[in-house]
């Protein structure tokens, strides 16, 4: 079974307007509401690809109930922990002449509720996969991902981590199956400017040397680079299309990679499907559908590069 963890899920309230005027009344042209959170996005795309998963995390209040109800209607399995205080955050995403985001804070998570999450994770066994993605709420210890991975040592669970800078660097000693920084995050980690694919591969290999088994670097319109546990380097292009929504594209890539690898045991095929999923979501107003993903697969070319 695949499990995803979303510690701080959200309702994404996406609004469109022609020109945002600060300090004035603005009339929107369209609006949509989506259950959001990186792990939840991974679960959603996995479902489209035919893989069941269980979404773990914390929810609270009316907004948490909306998220659970929305996922239930989509047929996604959830095992959320209910919090008594506050409400699950609401993120406002304004799409106008520029994109603006206003993200909520989220409720407090106490030790009792955190231990309930640990108890669920302790039940994972060999053959399971766990996706840890997104930020850690301020009310929780920043070492949470490390603590989770310590509990899974010697259980042969495939752990995927999609997080920023220190959260990612700190888990490397626990040898995650896959990490997925983007090229900008890679630059930030090593305080460098990446000027070529060779540069990206070089620093991705450094992350592998620090403990990650596989390193997948997303590069937006320039595709993606994968350094595998055998130290092979693969590069993929991206499909052609108009970017409508960047939210969830990276999560879709993670879901596609997991699905592709579990289906074929091939890192090349995993990269190909992951890239197609990321592109399909970027070209959609919501997460990609299976039909759209499959229509883009023929455009994705994966090549091995020797560095």
Picking from 255, 199, 191, the residue whose alpha carbon sits closest to that of residue 222 is: 199
Q: Annotated catalytic residue: which of 82, 162, 251, 286? A: 251
Interatomic CA distance for residues 199 and 219, integer angstroms: 12
- Residue 123 has what DSSP assignment? T
* DSSP string computed for 30-41: EEEEEEE-HHHH
Structure tokens that stand for 195 in this block: 């000027």
Collapsed DSSP state (helix, strand, coil) of residue 50: coil
Interatomic CA distance for residues 52 and 30, integer angstroms: 32
128 belongs to the catalytic site: no
Interatomic CA distance for residues 159 and 175, integer angstroms: 8
| Beta-sheet strands, E only, within 61-182 | 77-78, 81-83, 89-95, 99-102, 129-133, 158-162, 178-179
- How many Cβ atoms are within 10 Å of 141's Cβ, its own excluded? 11
Q: What residues act catalytically?
A: 251
């Amino acid at each position: 079974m695949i499990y995803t963890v979303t510690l701080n899920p959200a309702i994404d309230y996406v609004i469109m307007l022609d020109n945002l005027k600060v300090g004035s009344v603005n009339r929107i042209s369209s609006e949509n509401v989506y259950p959001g959170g990186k792990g939840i996005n991974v679960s959603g795309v996995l479902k489209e690809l035919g893989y069941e998963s269980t979404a773990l995390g914390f929810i609270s209040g009316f907004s948490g109930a909306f998220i659970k109800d929305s996922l239930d209607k989509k047929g996604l399995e959830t095992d959320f922990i209910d919090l008594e205080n506050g409400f699950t955050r609401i993120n406002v995403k304004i799409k106008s002449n520029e994109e603006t985001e206003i993200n909520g804070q989220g409720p407090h998570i106490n030790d009792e509720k955190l231990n309930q999450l640990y108890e669920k994770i302790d039940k994972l066994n060999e053959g399971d996969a766990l996706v840890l993605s997104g930020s850690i709420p301020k009310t929780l210890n920043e070492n949470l991902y490390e603590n989770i991975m310590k509990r899974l040592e010697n259980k042969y669970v495939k752990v995927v981590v999609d997080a920023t800078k220190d959260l990612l660097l700190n888990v490397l000693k626990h040898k995650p199956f896959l990490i997925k920084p983007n090229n900008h995050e890679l630059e930030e980690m090593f305080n460098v400017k990446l000027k070529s694919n060779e540069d990206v591969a070089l620093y991705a290999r450094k992350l592998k040397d620090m403990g990650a088994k596989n390193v997948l670097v997303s590069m937006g319109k320039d595709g993606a680079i994968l350094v595998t546990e055998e130290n092979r380097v693969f590069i993929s292009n991206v499909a052609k299309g108009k970017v409508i929504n960047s939210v969830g594209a990276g999560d879709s890539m993670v879901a596609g990679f997991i699905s592709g690898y579990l289906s074929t045991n091939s890192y090349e095929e995993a990269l190909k499907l992951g890239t197609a999923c990321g592109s399909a979501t970027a070209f959609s107003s919501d997460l990609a559908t299976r039909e759209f993903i499959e229509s883009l697969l023929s455009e994705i070319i994966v090549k091995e590069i020797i560095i």
